Amino acid sequence: MKKLILTVAAMISVCSVYAAGFGIYEASARGNALGGALVGSTRDASAVYYNPANMTETTNVSFMVGASFINPFCDMNVDGVKQQKMNSGWFAVPTFYMIVPISEDWRFGLGGYSEYGLGTNYGNFWALQNDTIETTIIQYTLNPNISYKITDWWSIAGGIKMSYISFNSKSHPFAPAFSSVEGELDGHDYSMGYNFATDFRVLDNVTFGLVYRSQIRHDIKGDFSMPGTLLGPGFAYVPAGANLNLPQSITGGINWDVTQRFRLGFAATWTQWNSVHDIKFNMDPYSKTEPLNWRNAWRFGWSGEYDLTDDVAVRLGYVHDRDPSSKYGTTMLPPGDRHIIGTGLGWNITKNIRWDIGYNFIIMHSSERTLDVVRYTPTPPTVTATPTKMHYKSNNSFSHIVSTTISYSF
């Protein structure tokens, strides 16, 4: 019986650990509204995320706390048959930042934010329930930084990235014959990476910034569980683990103060998604490597910000986010390039307190992928596996993002 559990767990796990394009860039309400185009000049505590070298712009102790609330949904079509809508509801991405001046030229910053994550829920009885019915990936980064102002026009920074990731995926491995039997894979891990950043004041009103974020390797440890419907009373648990990489990236951007009240920005991020070329899943005595063949991808953001008054600013941004996945995929996240439209407001409530709100609407291209689905039939002590190629297509793929932050400067 244990051999049966191990075989099923190994087969399921390699099919459902990753999702295409699971990067999260929602780091502040202002940054969301401006398409992340704050790399050259940030001007608030969120510089810890957008470009730590920009922390030298801050002269006072500054704090920022907030959250982005994300709601992805889409229609799914499998082999020409329309399925129930994928809608995972709303999930929150909290953020906090702090910048403390150490001296005239040195700054210390600390940030907490998410760089990766996803949530999908297709319901219990759709056509690809063997692959997944519900998946959640939660990643959180704690990032202390030090910045130094070398000259009036050049600053540098460096930091440590402490990363926590948790993964949970549920599926019906024996569907359609035994659709009531649910398998669940659950695990988590802590790891570390680093980042470097710089900014240059090209002209009095034009600044350029560059940020490098290292790859982080996670060795997820957890277990696979399945109820005893087919395996006897109670639940069966098997230790499980997976090796995965969070890719390195380089972001460059430029910000231009057109006038005292009007500002423009641009940012581009290159992410080495091809480092996520496969999944190595380990479950003693089983191990297997599942190729993904992802491509490196670019993300581009443009922004405009205008001060209506000394206390109220309006913002507009646009992002084109390329999908790194190949023609073979997983249903954990619908594939396709993303177009993101952002808008928002900033209000200086007092001299020291600012409230920002933002809204983003994500439009994802319709895209079709091929999935190697394996139908499992339990024949203790082994499992009979029948591989099948199925085609799935996402339509009407959208997301709403509502964000808010409060900033305080001493």
Mean pLDDT, the chain cut into blocks of 10 residues (410 residues total)? 52 42 87 97 97 96 96 77 74 95 97 87 74 83 98 97 90 72 83 97 96 93 71 64 85 97 97 77 63 83 97 97 72 73 97 97 75 64 67 76 96
Cα(121)–Cα(214) distance, integer angstroms: 31
Cα(89)–Cα(341) distance, integer angstroms: 20
> What pLDDT is attached to residue 174?
73
> What pLDDT is attached to residue 67?
97
Nearest to 172 by CA among 6, 381, 284, 8: 8
Domains, in order of start, for the chain: 2-409 (2.40.160.60)
> What pLDDT is attached to residue 19?
34
State pTM to two decimals. 0.86
> What pLDDT is attached to residue 16?
40
Angle, alpha carbons 342-357-258 (nearest 5°): 60
Burial of 409 (0-12, 13-18, 19+ CB in 10 A): middle
